[in-house]
Amino acid sequence: MRVLFVCSGNSVCGISPIIINQASALTGNLDALSIDFFPIVGKGIRGYAKNISLLKSKLKGESYDIVHAHYSLSAFAASLAGAKPLIVSLMGSDVKASYYYKLIIKLFQYIFSWKVIIVKSEDMKRSLNSQNAIVIPNGVSFNRFFPMNKEHCRENLNWNPSKKHLLFTSNPNRKEKNYVLTKQAIELLNDKEIELHSLVNVPNEQTPIWYNAADVVILTSLWEGSPNAIKEAMACNRPIVSTNVGDVSWLLGDLSGCFLTEFNAKECAESIDKAIQFSLEKGETCGRERLIELGLENSQVAETIASIYMAVIKILQ
């Protein structure tokens, strides 16, 4: 089975590590499956439009059993390039956009006969208002994200070993990540021993070290699909504080050491304080076991996606 991934090539490292990891999991679990990439270089509608003819040429020159587009703009470009059969993964921001943007997604789905739409959470499915969408959260690589010695990780990052270290999982400048709430909550705690770090421009291979160096991992986003940062922190057995967005409530369940907070600085501060105390007293959560229970280790998710590929191919035969 030959699969072509159509995706953005515009991130700092080119293709998103999330998509690279998914491809690695798929090819690592199925010897008969191979994946090529068509990275779209160029941002916005114009940037993507410039890639349509290039993609069309690639599709004419090579034969693929499945074309899998990641994010809506990649799906639009793939549709206009004549990609068939087309499977589309929507990643979060696609379905949190305006009513008219979601209408465009549905029009493309109908006109170009998208075979499957994959979304990352039930919340995304409701937002898209598509009963036919399939919910498959991104998996997490247990080979990359696993518990490490906290002291060694802090030494690697030159973090003060006597401080309480909190890790905000995104770029503070992204308004939807709601760094303001995290900052306000920490100010309310008024604890001079707390140091707050942000996961910004950290090389992909370094992120497990950052998670493991932190006492608590914090996500206070206004909205999410199925946040990978939560699953990565869980795989490292880190205590977590998160707003109840996307599928976070489902991911965490009743996991000890992990706390949901409302969009309220006082409640967020209380949750962070509880998570810090848990970290100091017990150290680790059982997040890794929870991910296995939910079927979210990379190889488990890869099997689900591969079964969808095979079902589409079977229908077309």
For 150-294, give the CATH class: alpha beta
> SS3 helix, strand, coil % of the chain, rounded to 5?
45, 15, 35
Task: Give pLDDT, residue 43.
Answer: 86
**pLDDT score for 122:** 87
Distance CA 17, CA 174 (A): 19
- State residue 225's pLDDT score: 85
Average pLDDT, the chain: 93
Would the pLDDT of 92 be above 80?
no
Task: Quick: pLDDT tens for 112-162.
Answer: 999 999 998 888 888 888 878 999 998 999 999 999 999 999 999 999 999
Residue 95 has pLDDT above 80, yes or no: no
* pLDDT tens digits, 180-209: 999 999 999 999 999 999 999 898 889 999
Task: Give the Cα separation of 247 and 122 in Å (integer).
Answer: 7
Give the contacts of 164 (CB within 8 A, at least 6 positions apart).
Answer: 191, 193, 194, 195, 215, 276, 279, 280
User: What is the tens place of the pLDDT at every residue in 103-119?
Assistant: 899 999 999 999 999 99
Please name which of 165, 181, 180, 167 lies closest in space to residue 266, comparing C-alpha atoms: 181
Supply the pTM of this predicted model.
Answer: 0.86
Count the helices and strands in the chain (H runs, E runs): 14, 11
Can you tell me the distance from the alpha carbon of 166 to that of 194, in angstroms, rounded to the nearest whole number? 7
Packed helices 72-80 and 99-111: angle between N→C axes, nearest 10 degrees: 40
pLDDT at 230 over 80: yes
- Give the pLDDT score at 155: 97
Give pLDDT, residue 191. 93
Residue with structure tokens 């100091």? 280
How far apart CA 202 and CA 153 sit, in angstroms, is 14
Domain coordinates in residue numbering, the chain: 2-139+297-316, 150-294
Looking at the domain 2-139+297-316, which fold is it?
A: Rossmann fold (3.40.50)
Looking at residue 126, its amino acid is R
Q: Supply the pLDDT for residue 259.
A: 98
What is the per-residue pLDDT for 181?
98
DSSP reduced 3-state for 216: strand
Same fold, 2-139+297-316 and 150-294: yes
Phi, psi of 98 (to 5 degrees): -70, 165
* Alpha-carbon separation of residue 125 from 102, 198, 219, 242, 295 (angstroms): 12, 30, 22, 21, 19
Tokens of 50: 């410039």
